[in-house]
């Protein structure tokens, strides 16, 4: 797997604090509501998803307690309390190798895309293994470094098959449905697609990292529109590594090379830039929903904002631990979107 692909894969962590505060029932946009967590170490977190109950699923390349390490998925409730953990490094059923993407379907099934094992594994919400599909290759249902996975409202799965420069679509059982894309720069072609998201209408947004752009398709793979080019300007990217769509239809794109999140409407019109080198440290993923979670890979902390994307994130603090020690996130700031 290339260094470029590794740098492009989305990576997320829940931020952790030493005390739990009960969140107030309501809050104005931008108002700090609570900080939450416990002393749980997450090393090299990668992807994040939310289920219908609001629980948060985080994939991590290494889980560390001081006694054990391993690749894992961890599940937290809305207050940051850990509910489940599963996975160790390997290729057997239930084992994980570079879990780069995660999605939870409406029926509660959890799908994990593994870059090194070139497969998708299926679990229930407590981590019980339910199935798998995929192998290394370029055929239908085969992968070359899958980097992300997303689900639509019907439970179909969209996988960024990054090394094959395409999107593959499956039903919830892993049955291949369709695919689109090839290597190139034309409309509908890709260069190492890094992230995928589906909006409420079923349109599919792809972070085409090597081409420095976002491409949008209908759910059959028909090209609709695009925006972006290489650079540091408002509609430009250096490494679009993750994206999400909030409940208002804003498209949030992280650019890990410029330490920013750029916000657009669904047509690609630029709205705002959040962060910068002095505010974010390697932002690499966002989580869609009524609030959007931004994570910082260099500090391994998270910031949560509501649906007003022009508000700057606040309230992060430095991680504990030395340069070679497993790091702990510290503070989550959340804006209520009511």
Per-residue pLDDT tens digits for 59-82: 886 655 444 455 789 898 887 788
Residue matched to tokens 């953990």? 85
Percentage of residues of the chain with pLDDT beyond 70: 65
Across-strand partners of 273?
262
Distance CA(103)–CA(59), nearest Å, equals 11
Q: Over the chain, what is the mean pLDDT?
A: 74
Provide the whole-model pTM. 0.77
Which are the contacts of 76, defined by CB distance < 8 A and separation ≥ 6? 14, 55, 56, 58, 82, 83
Distance CA(213)–CA(210), nearest Å, equals 8
pLDDT digits (tens, 9 = 90+) for 126-153: 999 999 999 999 999 999 999 999 999 9
Strands (E), 162-236: 166-170, 176-180, 193-198, 204-208, 213-217, 223-227
Question: What's the farthest any 2 CA atoms get from each other in the chain?
Answer: 51
Q: pLDDT confidence of 180, banded at 50, 70, 90?
A: very high
The answer on pLDDT for 276 being more than 80 is no
Distance CA(259)–CA(216), nearest Å, equals 24
Residue matched to tokens 């909030």? 246
Please report the pLDDT score of residue 43 as a whole number: 64
Which are the contacts of 323, defined by CB distance < 8 A and separation ≥ 6? none
Cβ 310 vs Cβ 271: under 8 Å = yes
């Amino acid at each position: 797997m290339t260094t470029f692909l590794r740098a492009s894969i989305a990576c997320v962590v829940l931020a952790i604090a030493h005390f739990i505060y009960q969140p107030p029932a309501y809050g104005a946009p931008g108002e700090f509501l609570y900080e939450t967590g416990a002393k749980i170490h997450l090393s090299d977190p990668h992807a994040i998803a939310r289920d219908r109950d609001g629980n948060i699923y985080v994939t991590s390349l290494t889980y560390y307690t001081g006694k054990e390490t391993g690749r894992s998925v961890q599940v937290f409730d809305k207050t940051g309390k850990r509910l489940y953990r599963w996975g160790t490094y390997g290729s057997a059923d239930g084992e994980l190798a570079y879990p780069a993407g995660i999605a939870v379907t409406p029926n509660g099934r959890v799908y994990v895309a593994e870059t090194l094992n070139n497969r998708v594994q299926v679990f229930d919400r407590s981590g019980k293994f339910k199935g798998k599909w995929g192998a290394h290759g370029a055929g239908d249902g085969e992968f070359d470094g899958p980097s992300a996975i997303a689900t639509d409202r019907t439970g179909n799965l969209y996988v960024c098959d990054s090394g094959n420069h395409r999107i593959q679509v499956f039903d919830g059982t892993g049955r291949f449905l369709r695919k689109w894309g090839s290597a190139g720069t034309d409309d509908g072609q890709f260069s190492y697609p890094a992230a995928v998201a589906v909006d409420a209408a079923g349109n599919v947004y792809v972070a085409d990292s090597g081409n420095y752009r976002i491409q949008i398709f209908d759910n059959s793979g028909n090209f609709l529109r695009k925006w972006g080019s290489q650079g540091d300007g408002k509609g430009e990217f250096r490494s679009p590594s993750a994206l999400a769509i909030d409940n208002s239809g804003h498209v949030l794109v992280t650019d890990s090379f410029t330490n920013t999140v750029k916000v657009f409407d669904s047509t690609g019109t630029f709205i705002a830039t959040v962060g910068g080198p002095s505010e974010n440290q390697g932002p690499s993923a966002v989580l869609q929903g009524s609030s959007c979670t931004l994570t910082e890979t260099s500090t391994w902390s998270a910031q949560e904002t509501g649906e007003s994307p022009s508000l700057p994130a606040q309230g992060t603090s430095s991680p504990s631990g030395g340069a070679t020690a497993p790091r702990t996130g510290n503070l989550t700031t959340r804006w209520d979107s009511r």
